[in-house]
């Protein structure tokens, strides 16, 4: 009987995966697969979860948010493990899960994975780290890093909103230089995002993004007058923001970003590397199950 390495984050979202463990095991057993679980623990190297992977394993099943999936992808890349990945989106935002149309319902998600074939999809790489959804910097991008983990798990999205309000006094123009063969921007911004996926915080920002095209979608929200923010936000809600002259938008497979500001980068809710950063698209970087 073939095996599946099941790596789950008990802290993700509202700890919802805990009550679904039997369903995950049952559905895989019915499909002739043995679940071999690994519970993520703080302070332990995730790479140890992959030490037992050999030719008897069909795929790695990950239950968690985008940050958890990033951690597993990085561990697999570090150990040169190339078997497919299935994602059970049980985090707070689950932006990448939405992008690939994974159901929130765990049983439905498992069935979708079990009935699928692996597809080679793109991933992002920022300096020496990989990510699946978005790398960002600027105002508000480090909110997830500042939220207490227990607060995030118990209050979910509300915790993000509260922290966002708290960060409003820090609203200021930020100097950035963005360089690629497609576009050069050297000026002031509020927010910069480099998408492999489409959404951040459930906002559909990279409306043109595709998962197998070998391109990342770069969006820079320029520093504008306060009076111009509301009209731009309305355009954003309508999906019309990429055509605005208040936004720099282009698609690339390689971009270099510099900033001397006291801001950090964020990779799917986790701390990223310091500037300068080179962000690349790794075409077909992972094999993914459950795409619909």
Residue 249: is its pLDDT beyond 60? yes
Residue 31: burial class (beta carbons within 10 Å; 0-12, 13-18, 19+):
middle
The count of C-alpha atoms lying within 13 angstroms of the C-alpha of 231, restricted to the half-sphere facing its C-beta, is: 9
Residue 211: is its pLDDT beyond 50? yes
Average pLDDT over residues 211-219: 97
Q: Is residue 108 flagged as an active site residue?
A: no
Average pLDDT over residues 255-273: 93
Q: What are the strands, taking DSSP E only, across the chain?
A: 2-8, 33-39, 57-64, 85-89, 119-126, 129-131, 134-138, 174-179, 184-195, 199-200, 203-204, 216-222, 247-252, 254-258, 265-267, 270-271, 277-288
Per mean pLDDT, which of 41-45, 119-123, 154-158 is the most reliable?
119-123
Average pLDDT over residues 125-153: 75
pLDDT band, very low/low/confident/very high, at 149 (cuts 50, 70, 90): low
Average pLDDT over residues 87-108: 92
Encode pLDDT of 162-200 as tens digits: 444 445 455 678 999 999 999 999 999 999 999 999 998
Tell me what the pLDDT averaged over the chain comes to. 89
pLDDT of residue 143: 52
Out of 55, 188, 208, 270, pick the active-site residue: 270
Q: What is the distance between the alpha carbons of residues 140 and 262, in angstroms, rounded to a whole number?
A: 13
pLDDT of residue 91: 85
- Domains delineated in the chain: 2-122 (3.40.50.10330), 130-284 (2.60.200.40)
Average pLDDT over residues 264-279: 94
Would you give the DSSP letter of residue 36? E
Residue 96: is its pLDDT beyond 60? yes
Task: To the nearest 10°, report the CA torsion of 208, 210, 216, 219.
Answer: 20
- What pTM value is reported for the model? 0.89
């Amino acid at each position: 009987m073939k095996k599946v390495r099941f790596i789950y984050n008990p802290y993700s979202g509202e700890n919802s995966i805990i009550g679904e463990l039997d369903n995950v095991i049952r559905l895989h057993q019915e499909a002739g697969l043995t679940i071999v679980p690994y519970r993520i623990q703080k302070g332990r190297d995730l790479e140890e979860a992959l030490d037992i992977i050999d030719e008897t394993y069909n795929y790695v099943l990950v239950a968690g948010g985008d940050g958890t999936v990033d951690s597993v992808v990085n561990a697999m890349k570090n150990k040169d493990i190339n078997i497919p990945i299935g994602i059970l989106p049980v985090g707070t935002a689950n932006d990448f899960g939405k992008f690939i149309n994974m159901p929130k319902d765990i049983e439905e998600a498992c069935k979708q994975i079990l009935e699928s074939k692996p597809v080679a999809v793109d991933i992002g790489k920022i300096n020496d780290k990989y990510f699946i959804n978005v790398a960002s910097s600027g105002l508000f991008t480090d909110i997830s890093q500042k939220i207490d983990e227990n607060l995030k798990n118990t209050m979910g999205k509300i915790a993000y909103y509260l922290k966002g309000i708290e960060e409003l006094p820090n609203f200021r123009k930020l100097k950035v230089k963005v360089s690629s063969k497609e576009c050069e921007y050297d000026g002031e911004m509020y927010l910069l995002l480099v998408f492999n996926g489409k959404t951040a915080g459930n906002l559909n920002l990279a409306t043109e993004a595709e998962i197998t095209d070998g391109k990342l979608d770069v969006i820079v929200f320029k520093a504008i007058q306060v009076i111009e923010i509301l009209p731009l936000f309305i355009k954003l809600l309508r999906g019309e923001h990429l055509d605005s002259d208040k936004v720099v938008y282009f698609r690339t497979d390689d971009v270099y970003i510099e900033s001397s500001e006291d801001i950090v980068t964020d990779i799917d809710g986790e701390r990223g590397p310091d500037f300068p950063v080179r962000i690349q698209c790794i075409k077909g970087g992972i094999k993914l199950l459950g795409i619909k």
